[in-house]
Chain A
């Protein structure tokens, strides 16, 4: 009985219980085919609530992340007149893809404390623990990841791109670049009021290679020798084919 009381108290204490997200995705599976050239996902939904709409304005944040992987960031420095890689920092977790869409400027929509708790913004999504003592400015290395990946389109911050009607209906579209990697893409939708997260909805998008792409990838991993010999056979056949074709052309 006492446990139930505590549970009830906890549920009531959470503001999340009063407003909930009902989500729709234009697709929850992305198939990478041989002619895959990026994709776009339409994220839309409604806010379900039992109480009347609060006075405080509602904001929505949509965050889609790719599978995380450890990476090494290297920095070049001039030594003996030439530019060489000197310092390196291993970053334990960096998502291969990260896109955030919001209804307004991110620093107004989400407070620092909530960002720290939920790891929403791009710098928070990257984790580097145990940076070696020799690296004085670990921050500049994680900054470099964000800079390089923002430039090639794998990290994107779209402030104000979520349309919200009557504090109830929201929609946005997230562009997936052509250099997408396979994996499960965790997708989170936050509802915030005055920078505080009032509700969180989580789902996943499945990105997978299909058809010929799938077959080649599996073959290269499961039977590498067969795959290697196949590559060589194709090369030899193509070389012979071109030579034979040109001989026929010359004789005409």
Chain B
């Protein structure tokens, strides 16, 4: 069934969009990533104009994250306190990120920078997670108990706070800094930032993997909700018809994903996320390295 999208001004197959939304929704529920870094290139591929794809994607992520968070709240795997601290940092970071983005735009070549950002960050994070979770799996197989986390310099910082759900008693400074960094990157790269936030929470803050997913989703809802409003009021590029089709698939997928996520072991969850991140990274890297079949591209004139 073909549906004509009022803002994107293209006609697309409704079932294709439902399916895409569903797949990305499953990943969202499983790993606590918004899935924007996966969905946006897919939407480009089926012919949605890039500006509309980026803006509408944010709207869809709100729905699937909300669906996922509710499922996690019932299991009590959302650290609301940690989520709020990260969110405060995230919003500060997003505001800074928009300034940086506009500065880069005035220099030109912002597309290239976004792509390079993706390749570098996805590459580093994916590789690190992959190696770490592989070691963890090997350790659990050989039977040696994992080392208990030692107290390091992070625990000597002031403004300590107790995060009961995560079982942590640490200073609020590291989570706020993580939030700011992720916020900046999210604004530049046009995504919720879950795929950076999740590893940061696991490895930098030492949060348990199960809690990380729900907490990340909680924070993503607000960041992408804010982004949706910004795009709708400044660029007029949110296509609600496209969003509805994607999110119907997405919210169902998120519920399924959360169920799958609880059945997997933490190391398995991490290694799967690492593989996915590396796959997207290599796809983007290949696009930059291999000669494209069409050297020219048509874009809209800006500022007219």
Residues of A within 8 A of B (CB): 32-38, 69-78, 81-85, 90, 140-141, 144-145, 147-149, 152, 178-182, 209, 212-214, 216-217, 220-221, 224-225, 227-232, 234-236, 238-243, 246-247
Tell me which residues across on chain B come within 8 A of A149, comparing CB atoms.
Answer: 298
Q: Is B153 an interface residue (CB 8 A)?
A: no
What 17 additional pairs, Cβ within 8 angstroms, besides A38-B11, A78-B291, A220-B232? A34-B241, A37-B2, A72-B302, A73-B299, A75-B296, A83-B290, A84-B109, A152-B47, A178-B10, A220-B7, A227-B232, A228-B232, A232-B59, A235-B63, A238-B247, A240-B66, A241-B251
Which residue of chain B is the closest to A37 with respect to CB atoms? B2
Q: Is B4 an interface residue (CB 8 A)?
A: yes
Given contacts A36-B11, A239-B251, whether A148 and B64 have CB atoms under 8 Å apart is no
Tell me which residues across on chain A come within 8 A of B100, comparing CB atoms.
Answer: none
B228-256: which have CB < 8 Å to A? 228-229, 231-233, 236, 238, 240-241, 243-244, 247-248, 251-252, 254-255
Distance of B189 from chain A, by nearest CB (Å): 17
Tell me which residues across on chain B come within 8 A of A33, comparing CB atoms.
Answer: 4
How many A-B Cβ pairs are below 8 Å? 188
Which residue of chain A is the closest to B301 with respect to CB atoms? A70
Verify B241–A243 contact, CB threshold 8 A.
no
In the complex, which of the residues A181, A182, A234, A242 contacts B243, with contact meaning CB atoms closer than 8 Å?
Answer: A234
* B interface size (C-beta, 8 A): 60
In the complex, which of the residues A72, A217, A230 contacts B299, with contact meaning CB atoms closer than 8 Å?
Answer: A72
Distance of A136 from chain B, by nearest CB (Å): 15
State in angstroms the CA–CA spacing of A145 and B47 once bound together. Answer: 16
Which residue of chain A is the closest to B9 with respect to CB atoms? A181
Chain B CB within 10 Å, residue with most, of A34, A149, A240: A34
Distance of B76 from chain A, by nearest CB (Å): 15
Residues of B within 8 A of A (CB): 1-4, 6-7, 9-11, 47, 59-60, 62-71, 74, 109, 111-112, 225, 228-229, 231-233, 236, 238, 240-241, 243-244, 247-248, 251-252, 254-255, 287-292, 294-302, 304
Verify B64–A85 contact, CB threshold 8 A.
no
Distance of A85 from chain B, by nearest CB (Å): 7
In the complex, which of the residues A217, A239, A246 contacts B66, with contact meaning CB atoms closer than 8 Å?
Answer: A239
Verify B7–A231 contact, CB threshold 8 A.
no
Tell me which residues across on chain B come within 8 A of A84, comparing CB atoms.
Answer: 109, 112, 288
Tell me which residues across on chain B come within 8 A of A181, comparing CB atoms.
Answer: 9
Chain B CB within 10 Å, residue with most, of A227, A235, A236: A235
Tell me which residues across on chain B come within 8 A of A225, comparing CB atoms.
Answer: 229, 232-233
